Amino acid sequence: MGGRTIGILDVFGPVMIGPSSSHTAGVARIAFLARKIFPYPLDRALVLFYGSLARTYRGHGSDKAAVAGLLGILPDDERLGYALELAAREGLDVEIKPEYDGPERYHPNTAVIELWSGDKHARIRGASIGGGEIRLQSVNGFEADLDGSLEALLVLHRDEVGVIAIVSHILAANRFNIASVASHRKDKGDEALMVVEVDGVVPTSIVAQIRDLPSVSEVVYVPSIHA
């Protein structure tokens, strides 16, 4: 038979606090990764639900799941059920807003998360694609394709010849196997976002080495959601 191999999660689903793998577990994972991408003290957050999430988020606990992810709580943690109370206790201001008329290109289970810390701001769009699996599809207007299964580096850099090769060399020289690498730019010669997925935890010393490259303006290390 053709097609992909069926794994145990396809049969039983993810270990999670319910009720829905796509509307609860997936949303928590999107928010968890969004928070990791924004490594600053969080002042406030806005969560926009599109499609099916906009219509059913209260009944499926998507609002609790989003807040839980922003607090660093993953779907198998019982604290997800009272994440709203935890956020209030910690003084975290999270606005949940359904958007019923999203762009046609958006997946039916799309969440957009905006985060603020002082004058810093990030906008991350992700889709919950079923069974608790996710795809982060956009980071600050740059295309991205992350599912959280591997460790990843997000490298903001000038669109110049050789940057990808230099970053890849640094990782390879430190014996990291690169699972995937892609660079997305808004325009030729403008800023670009390189997304590198690797096997293994990348130490801060290597992150700093990449950040010190002349063409690089920022590096964010995003841990696997399975770590």
Helices (H), the chain: 8-12, 26-37, 52-56, 62-70, 83-90, 163-173, 204-211
Reported as a pLDDT band with limits 50, 70 and 90, residue 114 is: very high
Cβ atoms of 92 and 57 closer than 8 Å: no
- Look at residue 96 and give its three-state secondary structure: strand
* DSSP class of 22: I
**Measured CA angle at 82 (ends 77, 84), to 5 deg:** 120
- If you search the block for the tokens 């460790």, which residue do you land on? 151
Prediction pTM value: 0.86
Question: Which domains are present in the chain?
Answer: 8-140 (3.30.1330.90), 151-222 (3.30.70.260)
HSE at residue 131, side-chain half, CA atoms within 13 A, is 10
**Tens digit of each residue's pLDDT (9 = 90 or more) over 135-179:** 999 999 999 989 999 999 999 999 999 999 999 999 999 999 999
**Tens digit of each residue's pLDDT (9 = 90 or more) over 184-212:** 887 777 899 999 999 999 999 999 999 99
**Tens digit of each residue's pLDDT (9 = 90 or more) over 6-43:** 443 443 344 444 445 566 999 999 999 999 999 999 99
Specify the pLDDT at position 227.
67
Residues 160 and 165: their CA atoms lie apart, in Å, by: 11
Specify the pLDDT at position 185.
85
**Tens digit of each residue's pLDDT (9 = 90 or more) over 61-85:** 899 999 999 999 988 888 998 999 9
